[in-house]
Amino acid sequence: MSSRKANFAGSFYPSECSKIKEYIEYFNNTTNTEALKKIQIKPRAAIVPHAGYIYSGFTANLAYKIASSRSDIKRIIIIGVSHKIGFKGLSVAEYDTYESPCGHLAIDKKFSLKLKQKFSEIHFYEKAHHEHSSEVQVPFLQHYFSATPVVELIYSDIDAKNLAIIIEDLLQDNSNFILISTDLSHFYTKKRAKELDGICIEAIKNINISTLDEGCEACGITGVKAMLLATKSKKLKTYILDYRTSADASGDNSSVVGYVSALIY
């Protein structure tokens, strides 16, 4: 039985399950639960960040906390951007399980292979799956959806319109839940980061794809564009959950990274 290894345990997130649980417990204890209860949304997808938990974990956790109220999710598709290698199209993880410090998540290998057969843009490049943008989501999934199989898609060189076609196909099945992994601007002052990130957030909020080209510097901008194209096509809505920068954790306003979480419903 093959397994997608946890390559970033101990760096982006803890290598010990108990420490991961402590993080998630802390995030939930510091969440405004009354405000959360007012968000009556049944999400079909989410946009989540992928930095170290100390920086972006709270922001990501909100999306998972709300999505966990859905009992009808049968499959979770993680769509992450490749940071290390370039290739055409997408790579789907052809493994049986996904390793996590809290155990192994099942990979829906049968569904993954069907996607590969259905779309010419999807291949399998083993090196593409040494990727943190997708992997940092897995401990959250292990916590909130331990019995739900996952599909990992990593993209590099692909047009947002082509990726949107795949996302639209995935959205045809209401039991699929899609994750778009992205951080926002990188290494600007906090003031400048908020200006640039505000462009991304407005685009997501208003489902306006062209706005993204006015200065949004999200590393996963192709995934965000594709998600918004699919959102508009399917007549869905978006809801911004949280925005913050690394300065909220580090106190350093001189060079920050921005993070947002949003729901598609």
pLDDT bin (cut points 50, 70, 90) of residue 65 is: very high
Strands 186-188 and 256-264: antiparallel
Residue 198 lies in a domain: no
Q: Is 26 left (phi over 0), alpha (psi -120 to 50) or beta?
A: alpha
SS3 (DSSP) at 64: helix
Q: In 136-214, which residue ranges form alpha helices assigned H by DSSP?
A: 138-144, 160-171, 190-206
**pTM confidence score:** 0.97
Has residue 203 been placed in a domain? no
Q: Above 90 in pLDDT, residue 36?
A: no
pLDDT at 113 exceeding the cut of 90: yes
Whether 100 is covered by a domain: the verdict is: yes
Res. 37 pLDDT band, cuts 50 70 90: confident
- What's the pLDDT at 33? 84
**Range 117-123 average pLDDT:** 98
* DSSP states along 221-237: HHHHHHHHHHHHHTT--
The per-residue pLDDT for 35 is 85
Q: Tell whether 197 is covered by a domain.
A: no
Tell me if 165 is assigned to some domain: yes
**39 within a domain of the structure (yes/no):** yes
**What CATH number should be reported for the domain holding residue 164?**
3.40.830.10
The pLDDT-based confidence of 27 (bands split at 50, 70, 90) is very high
Split into its structural domains, the chain has a count of 1
38: pLDDT strictly greater than 90: no
Tell me the mean pLDDT in the region 156-167: 98
Q: What mean pLDDT do residues 141-148 have?
A: 98
| 94 falls within a domain | yes
Residue 90: inside a domain, yes or no?
Answer: yes
Helix (H) or strand (E) holding 48: strand 45-48
Condensed to tens digits (0 to 9), the pLDDT of residues 90-106 reads 999 999 999 999 999 99
Distance between CA atoms of 11 and 101, rounded to whole angstroms?
A: 12
Rg from Cα positions in the chain: 17
Residue 155, domain extent: 3-183+226-250
